[in-house]
């Protein structure tokens, strides 16, 4: 294949490329996705299974027009932890089911009302920084996971992190032909080898992973429902709706298509929430589109849903093959952090690209105020608590931006604004 050639959403991928490209996508989201089940105290095998199933459902529902990989949602962690401590994990599953169902209803409402309201509540001057915050607010997480900040910093972790990041950056610029589309996978392999050499990974851990039972069955379990537990988790719907819109806008910019119109926001939002609902029914964690995979597409210029589907199938296989799942889990934090460091930055850059592509005029005070307040809100660490749900970062910034945009819209209708043109 030609260097830097774009492989579009509907294109077929040569068999020799399909497997490595699919593995690359699975590895990119793996570290963050398995962290959620560890925090909830459940086996990650069920999560790998549902990530694959959910992704395939997403591709089917969006008619193969929206490339997205579904992984574990972090938005549910705080309220779900409260429910687990008081009622148990099965009652948290009940909350996941209800949130997913309500998200499907919201998708139906959007289908009836359309998406023109997005241009009013989130104009480019607001959407740009909101999208940028999806990646920028995770910068600290990438550094912490990579063990280059905090108490766990050692020479070995720093070297492993730098090797992984360095190969990813230089590979995206210098690699040609076949290698140019798998720089992330190559970086993960190089980082893993470096981790073994520096002692970040012990041979004992690798040996233990390889001696795991060949076949393992994910731990399926049914949900239980309690009204109070459901009400604790339900407000997360607002968070995941904002997150989904942001991810779809980023992906639209990356692939050069308006995914909010085709296949439509209603389809992608329904698919996302339907997967979360199914997750609750079988014992997994809620799913969401993943920024890491958007970053992979931005770097490799490979947008084919066949690659995403291949990664989903591999994830399902890994959930049943014990040694394979165990070996993947030995990928250390410095390797995952080194990759995330670059991918999160790519998402932030996509947000800035929205401002450039739409030629936002910062000579207008409204645009300057919108972008400034959204950035500061998202990066300041300010938190708004509503019962047991806390809004902060990109989500809070999006809400503030929407309120400001609506206020400016009202001012325009009343002709109070001082920058109106004839």
Contacts of 16-19 spanning 24+ positions with Cβ under 8 A: 16/178, 17/178, 17/181, 18/306, 18/307, 18/310, 19/310
Residue 198 lies in a domain: yes
d(CA 381, CA 25) in angstroms, rounded, equals 30
Q: Residue 296 falls within a domain, yes or no? A: yes
pLDDT reported for residue 390: 67
Give yes or no for a contact between 300 and 131, defined as CB atoms under 8 angstroms apart: no
CB-based contacts of 47, cutoff 8 Å, min separation 6: 33, 34, 36, 37, 72, 284, 285
Decide which of 75 and 160 is more confident: 160
The pLDDT score that the predictor gives to residue 389 is 63
pLDDT for 270 = 96
Residue 404 counted as domain residue? yes
Asked if the model's pLDDT at residue 102 lies above 90, the reply is yes
Per-residue confidence band for 2, with pLDDT thresholds at 50, 70 and 90: very low
In the predicted structure, residue 88 carries a pLDDT above the cut 90 = yes
Q: Judge whether 57 lies within some domain.
A: yes
Residue 9, domain member (yes or no): no
Confidence band, pLDDT 50/70/90 cuts, at residue 166: very high
Does any domain span residue 335? Answer: yes
Which residue segment(s) compose the domain that 225 sits in? 15-413
Distance CA 411, CA 409 (A): 5
- What share of the chain has pLDDT > 70, as a percent? 95
Specify the pLDDT at position 117: 80
Residue 13 has pLDDT above 80, yes or no: yes
Domain-located, residue 10: no
Q: Tell me, what's the pLDDT at 31?
A: 62
- Section 270-279 average pLDDT: 96
User: Would the pLDDT of 1 be above 60?
Assistant: no
290-304, 329-343, 388-402: least confidently modelled range: 388-402
Q: Structural domain tally of the chain?
A: 1
Q: Is residue 397 part of a domain?
A: yes
pLDDT at residue 306 tops 70 = yes
Rounded to 10°, the helix 393-413/365-379 angle is 160
**What pLDDT shows up at residue 240?**
80
Nearest CA to 228 out of 47, 410, 79, 422 is that of 79
């Amino acid at each position: 294949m030609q260097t830097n050639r774009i492989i579009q959403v509907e294109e077929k991928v040569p068999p020799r490329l399909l497997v490595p490209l699919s593995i690359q996508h699975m590895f990119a989201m793996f570290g963050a996705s398995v962290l959620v089940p560890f925090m909830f105290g459940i086996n990650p095998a069920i999560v790998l299974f549902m990530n694959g199933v959910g992704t395939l459902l997403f591709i089917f529902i969006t008619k193969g027009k929206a490339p997205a990989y579904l992984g574990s949602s972090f938005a549910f962690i705080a309220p779900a932890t409260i429910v687990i401590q008081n009622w148990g994990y099965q009652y948290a599953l009940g909350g996941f089911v209800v949130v997913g169902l309500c998200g499907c209803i919201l998708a139906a409402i959007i289908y009836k009302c359309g998406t023109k309201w997005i241009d009013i509540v989130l104009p480019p001057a607001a959407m740009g920084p909101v999208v940028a915050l999806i990646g920028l607010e995770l910068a600290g997480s990438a550094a912490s996971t990579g063990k280059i900040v905090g108490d766990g910093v050692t020479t070995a972790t720093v070297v492993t992190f730098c090797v992984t990041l360095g190969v990813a950056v230089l590979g995206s610029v210098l690699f040609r032909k076949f290698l140019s589309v798998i720089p992330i996978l190559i970086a993960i392999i190089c980082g893993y080898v470096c981790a073994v050499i520096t002692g970040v990974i012990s041979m004992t851990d690798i040996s233990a992973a390889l001696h795991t039972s060949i076949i393992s069955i994910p731990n399926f379990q049914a949900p239980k429902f309690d009204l109070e537990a459901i009400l604790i988790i339900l407000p997360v719907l607002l968070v995941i709706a904002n997150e989904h819109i942001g991810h779809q806008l980023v992906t639209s910019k990356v692939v050069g298509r308006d995914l909010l119109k085709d296949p439509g926001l209603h389809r992608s939002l329904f698919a996302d929430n339907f997967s979360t609902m199914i997750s609750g029914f079988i014992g997994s964690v809620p799913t969401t589109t993943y920024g890491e995979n958007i970053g992979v597409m931005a770097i490799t210029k490979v947008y084919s849903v066949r690659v995403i589907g291949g990664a989903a199938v591999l994830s399902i296989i890994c959930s049943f093959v014990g040694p394979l799942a165990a070996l993947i889990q030995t990928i250390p934090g410095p390797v995952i952090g080194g990759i995330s460091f670059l991918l999160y930055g790519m998402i932030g850059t996509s947000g800035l690209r929205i401002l450039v592509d739409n030629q936002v005029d910062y000579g207008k005070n409204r645009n300057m105020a919108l972008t400034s307040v959204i950035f500061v809100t998202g990066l300041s660490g300010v938190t708004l608590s509503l019962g047991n749900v806390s809004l902060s970062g990109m989500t809070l910034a999006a809400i503030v931006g929407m309120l400001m945009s609506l206020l400016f819209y009202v001012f325009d209708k009343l002709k109070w604004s001082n920058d109106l043109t004839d």
